[in-house]
């Protein structure tokens, strides 16, 4: 069976914050569209749009999402919350165990 019309998936690449900032700056200058910048640098248009959106959130130009600092804090709080839930679960099991032992 042929893959008609299907794009081949590309390996996931990572980019430095400086590179992303430079791409965002190119997009915000206005002399090229996001699509053109994406094609010129062999990037996915979706990724570049996300970089531009995040830069606008971080600068306060947009308010319809989380800033990078807020995202980092949320991730840290979720990790801490998960760890605390695990601690509570362990304490509950230990309490039940010792309650049985003392009877």
pTM given for the model:
0.69
Determine the Cα–Cα distance for residues 8 and 19; give it in Å rounded to an integer: 25
pLDDT tens digits for the chain (103 residues)? 556 667 778 788 999 999 999 999 999 999 999 999 999 999 999 999 999 999 999 999 999 999 999 999 999 999 999 999 999 999 999 999 999 888 7
Q: Are 61 and 47 in contact (CB under 8 A)?
A: no
């Amino acid at each position: 069976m042929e893959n008609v019309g299907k794009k081949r998936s590309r390996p996931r690449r990572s980019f430095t914050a400086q590179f992303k900032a430079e791409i965002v700056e190119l997009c915000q200058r206005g002399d090229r569209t996001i699509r053109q910048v994406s094609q010129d640098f062999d990037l996915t248009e979706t990724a570049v749009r996300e970089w531009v959106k995040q830069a606008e959130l971080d600068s306060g130009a947009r308010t319809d999402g989380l800033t990078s600092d807020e995202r980092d804090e949320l991730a840290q709080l979720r990790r801490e919350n998960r760890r605390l839930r695990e601690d509570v679960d362990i304490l509950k099991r230990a309490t039940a165990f010792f309650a049985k032992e003392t009877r």
